[in-house]
Chains A and B, each alone.
Chain A
Amino acid sequence: MTGSYVIDASNVTLALGSGAGRTEILRGVALQVASGESVALLGPSGSGKSSLMAVLSGLERATGGSIRIAGADFTALGEDDLARARQGRIGIVLQAFHLLPTMTALENVAVPLELAGREGPFDLARAELEAVGLGHRLTHYPAQLSGGEQQRVAIARATAPRPALLFADEPTGNLDAATGTAILDLLFERQRDTGATLLVITHDPALAARCGRVLEMQDGRIARDTANG
């Protein structure tokens, strides 16, 4: 049964700092997410949403517990192995876009494909940018793009390698309502088209309502796990 989950985490803990300054951020999180699911992660600030996403995506190493992502044991991997494990398997979209400022839109999207050693990375990147409606912005640098366009590049960058797992951390947090809606439409469309599993952190109930499942976090634990519709 365990093998069918893209995310299979149990008793995950994360503590930062040491001694008197030690803070328990995740306090025994258990989570299983099946392939193709879309999951919204809700919760107040400081509840541990972003930290959970960080340990699940391998950006942070959990202090304890077990994490298996697409079959790989993330708790047993070092920093570089985690980087390799992300290649082509995990896509991440962040609130602040985090594009590489010295690269064009096309190059930004091609980077994960190149790192994963894919054939024809620029052709794939071009197709992906066209799919997100930025076929006319291929040679633009991030500073020459609007916030919405930058986030579309970030989505294209995350989805271009066809990852099994797509993380998004408040992807519309830096955008106006209309652009945010368009970006969400795009995100869900790309998720559907690629068949990826989506885990999205949000404060927005409307976004949560579009996901198949909603997790609510509180004090470093998943306090509620509900299925939509």
Chain B
Amino acid sequence: MVEGFSGAEGPSTMLRMVPLPCKCSGGFLSLPLRLALRDLRGGLAGLRLLAICLFLGVLALAGVGSLASAITASLAERGQEILGGDVQLTVSQREAGPTELAALAREGRVSHITRMRAMAARLDGSESVLVELKGVDEAWPLYGTFRLRPGAPAERPRGGQVAVGPELAERLGVRVGERIRVGNAELQVVGLIAQEPDRVGQGFTLGSTALVDRAGLAATGLVQPGSLYTSAYRIQLRPGADAKAVAGRLGKSFGPSGFQVLDRTNGAPGTRRFIERLGQFLTLVGLTALIVAGIGVGNGVASYLDGKRASIATLKLLGATSRTLFLSFLFQVGLVAFAATIAGLAAGALVPAAVVALAGDSLPVPPRLALYWQPLLASAAYGLLIAAVFALVPIARARTVPAATLFRGDLEPSRWPGKAAVLIVLAAAAAIAGLAVGTAREPAFAAGFIGSALGLVLLLTLLGGLIRWTASRLPRPANPVFRIALANLHRPGAQTGRLVVALGLGLTLFTTLAVIESNLSGQMRTTIPAKAPSFFMLDIPVEEIGRFRTLASSAAPQGELVTIPSLRGSVVAVKGRRVADMGEIPPEAWFLRGDRGLTYSAALPEGSRIVAGRWWPSDYSGPPLVSLDVEAARAVGLGVGDPIAVSILGREIEARIASLREIDWDSMGFNFVIVFAPGTLESAPHSFMATISMPEAQERPFARAVSSAFPSVSAIRVKEVVETVSAMLSQLAVAVRAAASVAILAGIAVLVGALAASRRARTYDSVILKMLGATRGRILAAQAAEFAALALVVSLVALGLGSAAGWWVVVKIFELDWAPDWGTVGATLALGAVVTLVLGLAGALPALAARPARALRTL
């Protein structure tokens, strides 16, 4: 007997023989770390699924975040150029007066730009196209460089010259040096615009630019009292001046006269809002992809640790504690998760550059290529938190593997991972939700999205359980290989539940997007053109309206013409409160932002319904009254009898609200938020708008007739607008699909991982069946049946859930008709199902190829 090991010495002597944690050799972490590093000598192949899934998820988030940041940074950095100055004041249908100009000139150098919609036509009248006519003065551009093709800096056009966007020249079929007609002027095309520095600040326009100088603009004769044009005054402030402060000051003094004031820090608010919203939406899509990836992370870690059961049991046999093992595996998984996250961040950070290379021209602003730490840090946090949520439970379970496993089979029941692990997982999940909602531009939307995603995960988990339960209770197929296929769906350790969640989430997301997208594009293609008139006509002079009606009835005898007076104006006060003092205007109160179209009418407009107050008598001639859209009124708490002040052509008009209307925005006619009663606006300079419907064959001749008889009238062909918007929607769809594809990719990675995890069991079955006389064809057929059943169930569920989610977005949020293109949706799903089936079978092939004699030695 060894001295000192006798019972008389007691446990204290025995303890001395056990190596205790020693601070001198690197602290209490050194042993787990050493074990982890030794374990990793065997390679990281077992954690490949964890790495791939985390990489994909982090890549999606980091990519979306970096791209959105790169675009908003570009907007901020190029603020002066985009805005065209340090401060810009815009006003509708008038120019600044001498006193106003003098006040502006005191702030710095002023440049005056006039913008309006107009028609540009070939001299022979055979083709006319809607353009964004832009008249610039000598100071333009205050910032940035104007370039003509092929790209050298160019002089702005002078006198009878015009520079046009390349697509305009193409549409009109004119070359540089040839002449076109705009209004009353014949202008010579001096070049095709390659760079218009202040283009982004103008926001979305229907036509491409036709750039003239002030003399050229005057020659067109289009700027008339009542015509719809915008005057912009850009100021180059003196060095050291605070643009925001100047803008605030000018806003106060010019606001009441109807001027909108912007400064260089927010030169394109609409574009910025759009990019931020899109970025937010894509981030949530990316987060869904990361949740799918998380399931893969969980699977990867679980199957990796499953393969380590014998090692864990052996280490325990040798005296390793659960804590040591937990820390050791935490190191291993953490190391791989960290590396995958870093790789995902690196790839994500390159996304802006990749997007520039692939789609530079179709972006609203070229992204500013740089490293954006904020989205990268957020993505890293999401990635590591997701890894914690999904990996901690398998790690915590692995440490509970008893040493006795070595003497028993490995069909151990799943053990409780421990309270601490569960609490950490819940905390990490809460942190993800908190991060997503806390950093969201619209927290309620983000919370709703996260809540829906979690609800969906729960629903799919239940469904997975239901499939397993059903499979275990179905009558056993007569064919033994099919019996095994059915058993594979519910056997202990079957991946059915995880697969249903991962594939279901990815396919549901994809189906939802397909439903929404096909619904939107369907509306654009069919519903809108069916309801909408053929043309919207703008800037019909009041004195010409009679002649216009005559021309319309002769040029389009079957045409249905509706005309309505039109002015521009901005709301400057509601219930005595100045809009300028309101700070950030909520999205629902959009009608307070900038210029709005106004009209007056004796009769209730078509498509409107009075919901409060009364419509005025047709011969009304009292103090100013307005009728307001009920939703706009609700957004700012306005009711019948409340005052509202509107600035029109620099004059402020205070009116009382006589009624609230519910507007059918789908009617595709003229829908004005604010309609004045007769007697107030008739004397203000204004013009008429018209809609006209006609058979498609008459559209071109009609446009030609209007263009030559009324050069000042802009004819917007609805089909062209639909095409433009459709093209924009499809570009958006590409971005959304790219983000959603990551969810599908992650789902596929989960599928492949699940197959890898069950490969041992599948190989075993396959080998035993071969030993008993089954051919490979029969075994493959059974596996095909298994995957087909799974793909079918998951696809049907995705169809149901995705359609429901899509219906909610289309009908409840967009308030559009429910008309998805089931062909597209079905094709999307079928593709998903076929991919599942093919990958499942491909994953099963190695098990099928196992040689029985060799496999029997090792299994």
Contacts and interface: CB of A to CB of B under 8 A. Distances in A.
Q: Are A and B interaction partners?
A: yes
Interface of A: 50-51, 54-55, 59-60, 79-80, 83-84, 86-88, 92, 94, 98-103, 107, 110-112, 114-116, 143, 157
A100 B771 contact: no
Which of A88, A92, A100 has the largest number of chain B CB atoms within 10 A?
A100
B98 interface: no
Contacts of A80: 775-777
B851 A60 contact: yes
B480 A110 contact: yes
Interface stretch (B18-26, B516-524, B587-595, B762-770): B762-770
Which of B479, B769, B852 has the largest number of chain A CB atoms within 10 A?
B852
Contacts of A111: 480, 769, 772
Contact of B775 (A50, A84, A114): A84
A30 to B, nearest CB: 20
Interface in B454-510: 476, 478-480, 483-484, 487-488, 491-492
A98 B851 CA distance: 15
Contacts of A86: 771-773
Nearest to A86: B773
A89 to B, nearest CB: 9
Given A60-B852, A98-B859, A100-B769, 8 more contacts: A54-B852, A59-B853, A60-B854, A79-B776, A80-B775, A98-B771, A114-B480, A115-B773
B102 interface: no
B40 interface: no
A102 B775 contact: no
Contact of B853 (A60, A98, A102, A115): A60
Nearest to B411: A143
Query: From DSSP, what is the main secondary structure of chain B's interface residues?
Result: helix
B411 A59 contact: no
Nearest to B488: A102
Nearest to B774: A115
Contacts of B42: none
Going nearest first, the 9 A-B pairs with the smallest beta carbon separation are A87-B773, A102-B487, A54-B853, A60-B853, A59-B853, A80-B775, A59-B852, A112-B772, A115-B773
A102 B483 CA distance: 9
A148 B361 CA distance: 75
Interface string B836-859: 000000000000000111101101
Given A100-B768, A107-B476, A111-B769, A83 B491 contact: no
A54 B859 CA distance: 15
Interface in B729-776: 761, 764-765, 768-776
A143 B480 contact: no
Interface residues of B, number: 32
Contacts of B240: none
Contact of A98 (B411, B491, B776, B856): B856
A111 B476 CA distance: 13
A112 to B, nearest CB: 4
Contact of A84 (B479, B765, B769, B773): B773
Query: From DSSP, what is the main secondary structure of chain A's interface residues?
Result: helix
B491 A59 contact: no
A122 to B, nearest CB: 10
A103 to B, nearest CB: 7
A86 B768 CA distance: 12
Contact of A102 (B484, B770, B859): B484
B97 interface: no
Contacts of A50: 853, 857
A143 B859 CA distance: 16
Contacts of A83: 770, 773-776
Contacts of B765: 100, 102
A102 B471 CA distance: 12
A167 to B, nearest CB: 10
Which of B483, B776, B859 has the largest number of chain A CB atoms within 10 A?
B483
A98 B768 CA distance: 7
Given A80-B776, A92-B771, A115 B491 contact: no
A2 B774 CA distance: 29
Contact of B409 (A51, A92, A116, A143): A143
A86 B487 CA distance: 25
A94 B772 CA distance: 12
Interface in B702-721: none
A97 to B, nearest CB: 10
A83 B778 CA distance: 11
B336 to A, nearest CB: 31
Interface string B428-453: 00000000000000000000000000
Contacts of B769: 100, 111, 115
Contacts of A115: 480, 769, 772-774
Nearest to A115: B773
17 contacts: A50-B853, A59-B852, A80-B777, A83-B770, A83-B775, A86-B771, A87-B772, A98-B768, A100-B484, A100-B765, A101-B492, A102-B765, A107-B480, A112-B772, A114-B478, A115-B480, A143-B411
Contacts of B852: 54, 59-60
Contacts of A110: 480
A116 B778 CA distance: 13
A94 to B, nearest CB: 7
A84 to B, nearest CB: 7
Which of A51, A87, A99, A115 has the largest number of chain B CB atoms within 10 A?
A115
A170 to B, nearest CB: 12
Interface in B617-655: none
A115 B487 CA distance: 18
Contact of B856 (A88, A94, A103, A157): A94
Given A86-B771, A94-B856, A143-B409, A103 B776 contact: no
A87 B773 CA distance: 5
Contacts of A54: 852-853
Contacts of A92: 771
A93 B460 CA distance: 43
A51 B851 CA distance: 13
Contacts of A157: 772
Contacts of A59: 770-771, 851-853, 856
B773 A112 contact: yes
Contacts of B491: 101-102
Contacts of B856: 59, 94, 98
Which of A83, A111, A116, A143 has the largest number of chain B CB atoms within 10 A?
A83
B853 A51 contact: yes
A88 B639 CA distance: 90
B721 to A, nearest CB: 62
A80 B488 CA distance: 23
A101 B476 CA distance: 15
B406 to A, nearest CB: 15
A9 to B, nearest CB: 16
B412 to A, nearest CB: 11
A185 to B, nearest CB: 25
A69 B539 CA distance: 98
Nearest to A54: B853
Which of A59, A88, A94, A99 has the largest number of chain B CB atoms within 10 A?
A59
Contacts of B409: 143
A116 B487 contact: no
A116 to B, nearest CB: 6
Contacts of B480: 103, 107, 110-111, 114-115
A143 B413 CA distance: 12
Nearest to B476: A107
Which of B771, B773, B854, B856 has the largest number of chain A CB atoms within 10 A?
B773
Interface in B353-381: none
Contacts of B476: 107
A139 B488 CA distance: 18
B746 to A, nearest CB: 29
Nearest to A95: B856
A222 B772 CA distance: 28
Interface string B407-428: 0010100000000000000000
A187 to B, nearest CB: 18
